[in-house]
Amino acid sequence: MNPVFTALRRALPLACALVLLLATAGEAARTARSKNAMAATAHPDASKAAAEVMREGGNAADAFVAAALVLGVIEPYSAGLGGGGFALYRDTAGKVHAYDFRERAPGKARRDMYQKDGKVDSMLSKFGPMAVGVPGQPAGLEMIHARHGKLPRARLTKEAHAFAAEGFAVFPYLQEKIKSTASLLRQFDATREVWLPGDKIPEVGAKIRQPGLAKAIEAFAAEGAAPFYKGAIARDMAAEVSRLGGILSERDLATYQAYPVTPVRGTFRDWEIYSFPGPSSGGIVLIEMLNMLEAALPEQPQVESALKVEAGLQKLAPLAPLLGASALAQGESAAFPGIPAMQSMLVAGHSHLIAEVMRRAYADRAEYLGDPRFADVPTKRLIAKDYARERLKDLDLEKAHDVSAGSVEIAPAEGEHTTHISIVGPEGDAVSATLTINLSFGSGITVPKWGIILNNEMDDFAAAPGVPNAFGLIQGERNSIAPGKTPLSSMTPTMAFRGGRLRYVLGSPGGSRIISTVLQLFLHVAAFGLTPEQAMDAPRIHHQWRPDTLYAEDAFFAPEGLTPLRGALEKMGHHIKTAPHWCNAQAVWVEDDGTLLGLSDERVEGAPAGF
Which residues does the annotation mark as catalytic?
418
Which of 599, 583, 584 minimizes the C-alpha distance to 551?
A: 583
User: What is d(CA 226, CA 231) in angstroms, rounded to the nearest whole number?
Assistant: 6
Residue 444 amino acid letter: G
Contact 32, 590 (CB under 8 A): no
3-state DSSP call for residue 518? helix
User: What is d(CA 290, CA 385) in angstroms, rounded to the nearest whole number?
Assistant: 9
3-state DSSP call for residue 43? coil
Is the torsion defined by CA of 435, 467, 287, 601 positive or negative? negative
Nearby residues of 565 by Cβ (< 8 Å), 6 or more positions away: 333, 335, 344, 347, 348, 556, 557, 558
For 140, the enclosing helix (H) or strand (E) is helix 137-148
Contact 302, 528 (CB under 8 A): yes
User: What is d(CA 406, CA 350) in angstroms, rounded to the nearest whole number?
Assistant: 27
Give the Cβ contact number of residue 193 at 10 Å.
17
Is the torsion defined by CA of 213, 217, 219, 224 positive or negative? positive
Give the Cβ contact number of residue 56 at 10 Å.
12
Give the Cβ contact number of residue 419 at 10 Å.
32
User: DSSP of 67-106, one letter per residue?
Assistant: HHHHHHHH-TTT--TTSEEEEEEE-TTS-EEEEEE--B--
User: What is d(CA 73, CA 76) in angstroms, rounded to the nearest whole number?
Assistant: 6
Which of 611, 542, 600 minimizes the C-alpha distance to 575?
A: 542
Contact 484, 477 (CB under 8 A): no
User: Under the phi-then-psi rule, with left for phi > 0, alpha for psi from -120 to 50, and beta for the rest, what region is 514?
Assistant: alpha
From start to end of 108-258, where are the E strands? 115-116, 119-120, 168-169, 207-208
Contact 233, 452 (CB under 8 A): yes
Which of 289, 219, 263 minimizes the C-alpha distance to 95?
A: 263
Distances 9 to 295, 346, 354, 577 between C-alpha atoms, Å: 10, 11, 12, 26
Helix axes 3-22, 306-314, angle to 10 degrees: 150
User: What is d(CA 403, CA 252) in angstroms, rounded to the nearest whole number?
Assistant: 41
Contact 230, 184 (CB under 8 A): no
